[in-house]
Structure 1
């Protein structure tokens, strides 16, 4: 009973997707060992419920699929999305650095204000 509750309540939190999926898989494997296997559909729902808001763009299309995703397919999709999020964060950070650099140049007097 405790394992099923753990699986229902599991959250990714600050873990990487790989770490989160490993934790989910460990619980699912333990349930299988005691003759209470978790279906792929249920496992997918537990994972999707625990991902957090960063993955909301991925959750809706996966939930509406007519065919079941295997755990390996779900793993690959989520890892790919995690890499995409990191790239977007890095691009956003680069834009902030560029904007800050531009502001410093203008405050150094290189661009004069015509107000007297």
Structure 2
């Protein structure tokens, strides 16, 4: 459980969450740029209830709820003791956000073993693209295994699109 590798799906979910929170202007709740406000502030020398405190708590609870709703039961139990969306997000990021060497090696092995077999070319190319995309998400170069193919693609005057590559294959 603790060493569960980052998958393309979890990376995509992370990316989607980041986009969503950025779009709503609330990414600061999980990246720490909107810190936990004080309940009481001084205003004109007097202690006053900080109205931004209740807004912050509400937003944080909504974000934490959305994070929890997107997780498996195992992952929820892992973060259930964290009180803020930022602390839960940080724990998930540190636990699942770093790809393991074994997972990367397994992906590269899958890529080397892909054959068309009885699959139609569309299935094969989409499988290749899926694995390469996952490797890319993990910030890992595909490696020397595909030097010949990448050299041929780079030698072209115009870049090749995935659709064009698919048609040629």
TM-score by length of structure 2 reads: 0.30
Q: TM-score, normalised by structure 1?
A: 0.41
